[in-house]
A = this chain, B = another copy of it.
């Protein structure tokens, strides 16, 4: 099967990192096709950038000229998954949700460790809307920006481990979710230091997407995610 994995920002090196993380867990017969939006922000750290990413990801996916079996939206806590579900007939998996529902199989509660403090509310909102917030012990920020994760990996690990440990000890999390599309390579380091399962959203989403395709399941079209009604629309680049 072929899975499109859409980065939410315009930084190509992050797209590559995401693709690498996805391929590391994909099954033998699964092809990972990374996509970078044609416009948007170089990193998504707030609502304005996230709303723009929502449109940019829809644009990039609709533009993609080829067959595919599932789409992963590889931004943590970002807007847009519902729009993709309206536009497509294949399953759409958001990494925020895939990570949370995967973590819930592994322990009684999970915490998310993300980048900047301002990302916390966006993540909480997505988890609430997805109905996956009940077992969320906390969403904690490491204070590192998305781009600093790439440029300062050692400092990032220390900051993430420190918050993960507080999540386990104080918030009573039993599983840690890495709350950013570009954190997969830090995963083993956090496992080693904290002694609890650590879930990377991109990788969890690959497993979920493969599962849905194997089960022959896709988005319900009866109400919320019915296709857009025919009407005059301007300004959506790919139309």
Interface residues of A (CB under 8 A from B): 10, 25, 27, 38-43, 45-52, 54-56, 58, 79-80, 82-83, 85-87, 91-93, 97, 101-102, 104-108, 117-118, 120-121, 125, 128-135, 145, 168, 172, 174-175, 195-197, 199, 203-204, 207-208, 210-212, 214-215, 217-220, 222-226, 228-229, 231-237
Q: How far is the CB of A45 from chain B (nearest CB, A)?
A: 6
Q: How far is the CA of A102 from the CA of B101 in the complex (A)?
A: 9
Q: Is the CB of B118 within 8 A of A226?
A: yes
Q: How far is the CB of A91 from chain B (nearest CB, A)?
A: 6
Q: Is the CB of B55 within 8 A of A51?
A: yes
Please indicate the chain B residues that have their CB under 8 angstroms from the CB of A225 in the complex: 47, 107-108, 174
Q: Is the CB of B86 within 8 A of A235?
A: no
Please indicate the chain B residues that have their CB under 8 angstroms from the CB of A40 in the complex: 233-235
| Given known A108-B121, A175-B220, A220-B107, contact A228–B46 (CB-CB < 8 A) | yes
Q: Is the CB of B212 within 8 A of A195?
A: no
Q: How far is the CA of A223 from the CA of B135 in the complex (A)?
A: 15
Q: Report copies per complex.
A: 6
Q: Is the CB of B43 within 8 A of A223?
A: no
Q: How far is the CA of A237 from the CA of B52 in the complex (A)?
A: 10
Q: Is the CB of B128 within 8 A of A131?
A: no
Q: How far is the CB of A219 from chain B (nearest CB, A)?
A: 6
Please indicate the chain B residues that have their CB under 8 angstroms from the CB of A132 in the complex: 104, 131, 134
Which residue from B45, B49, B105, B237 sits with its C-beta under 8 Å from A212?
Answer: B105
Q: Which of A42, A132, A134, A220 has the most CB of B within 10 A?
A: A220
Q: Is the CB of B93 within 8 A of A105?
A: yes
Which residue from B101, B135, B214, B220 sits with its C-beta under 8 Å from A106?
Answer: B220
Please indicate the chain B residues that have their CB under 8 angstroms from the CB of A120 in the complex: 172, 223
| Given known A27-B27, A47-B83, A86-B47, contact A222–B196 (CB-CB < 8 A) | yes
User: Could you pull out 21 A-B pairs where Cβ atoms are within 8 angstroms?
Assistant: A39-B235, A40-B233, A40-B234, A47-B224, A51-B80, A52-B55, A79-B79, A92-B105, A97-B105, A102-B217, A104-B131, A104-B132, A105-B217, A106-B217, A107-B222, A108-B224, A128-B128, A168-B222, A175-B220, A197-B220, A235-B237
